[in-house]
Amino acid sequence: MNAMTSPDLSQATPHPAPFLRVEDLRVKFVSRDATVRAVNGISFNLERGKVLCVIGESGSGKSVMMRSLLRLHPKKRTVIEGTMMVGEHDIGAVSDRAMTQLRGSLISMVFQEPMTALDPLYTVGDQIAETVRRHEGLSKEAAWARALELLELVRVPSPERRLKAYPHELSGGLRQRAVIAMALSCRPSLLLADEPTTALDASVQIQILVLLRKIQQEMGMSMIFVTHDLGVAAQIADQVAVMYAGRIIEYGNARDVLLNPQHPYTKAMLAATAKDQDRNLPLEAIAGNPPDLRALPDGCSFAPRCKYAGPDCIVTMPPPVTDIRGHMARCFKVEAADGPLAFDERVAEPA
């Protein structure tokens, strides 16, 4: 089945200019032994005040993409190509000194494990206050007052006492709230959240998710939320990007991607979740393993694990197919017409 070109959108209602624009981003790590191609030509836009959830298995390139937006990869072993525009700032072109100033003030990040994001030798209050003083030049007293306001903002109980506590004296949920407070301390325009609830129990996860979404809406921030949990994406996302082998293979608004998935990988992930499944039947696991990023195949990287794969999938990378609503999928089985994307459910004949 041949993929049709995207419909003409020239007469569509214009959208606001994107606050974040990523075009053909490629990231590879080079060593004497091998070259790992972790991100392989991803492009997306994010409007101001919107939330993009990036989902996919471990090793799909989600965290690498996020750290690239902050230029946190080691320079000597990393090659980054493509365009990353945040507002008027070209992230790939600014100097190291300018990038240091942009971290925290323009772009901030909430990391997956709060114990590694906090310095065990300093109190929570000292670490938040130091961030504020560095970027905004406040006095020690004013920065400490801001730190207290931030702990109150993220709903930390007894915030005055927690300001003087060391990270090891707090529970996992309170540490994560402290990390969020630090990330918000300089009122960033773009917040990156890299699986911030993975290390927390279910009840605390829900609290953190609700808190992040509420603060994001109140402050009008754009946010990229990385997760492998489709339930999380359904709760907080405006848009969803599905990554596999360093590529975005499906993209669109959250409702389209999660309720009308088109790529076989997205379909397989949804089928592997426990929600709405018959308890008497086993979950449908995705067979096989993700590809080796040191030796990616020429065709679709998911083809060896896909029950729909045909001969073309093995040798040729499927082009992106997009419908009139902006729902995109990279698959030869998908067609775009005047309406939403349509998937041909027929299983391919063996090659």
Tell me the pLDDT tens digit for each residue of 115-142. 788 899 999 999 999 988 888 888 889 9
Tell me how far CA of residue 223 lies from CA of 107, 150, 338, 343, in angstroms.
10, 18, 31, 30
Instruction: Find the helix packing angle between 140-153 and 124-136, rounded to 10°.
Output: 120
pLDDT given at position 349: 66
Q: Is the pLDDT of residue 319 over 90?
A: yes
φ, ψ of residue 250 in degrees (nearest 5): -150, 140
> Which tokens sit at 333?
């089985």
Under 8 Å CB-to-CB from 215, ≥6 apart: which residues? Answer: 153, 154, 180, 184, 221
Euclidean distance between CA atoms 88 and 347, whole angstroms: 47
pLDDT given at position 186: 86
The residue-averaged pLDDT of 197-226 equals: 84
CB 90 within 8 A of CB 174: no
Rounded (10°) CA dihedral 291, 321, 238, 223: 50
Q: Which helix (H) or strand (E) holds 102?
A: helix 96-105
Q: How far apart are the first and last CA of the chain?
A: 15
pTM of the entire structure?
0.87
User: Could you tell me which residue, 177 or 229, shows the higher pLDDT?
Assistant: 177
Percentage of the chain modeled with pLDDT above 90:
58
Write the DSSP symbol of residue 325: T
CB 248 within 8 A of CB 257: no
pLDDT band (50, 70, 90) for residue 306: very high
Euclidean distance between CA atoms 171 and 280, whole angstroms: 37
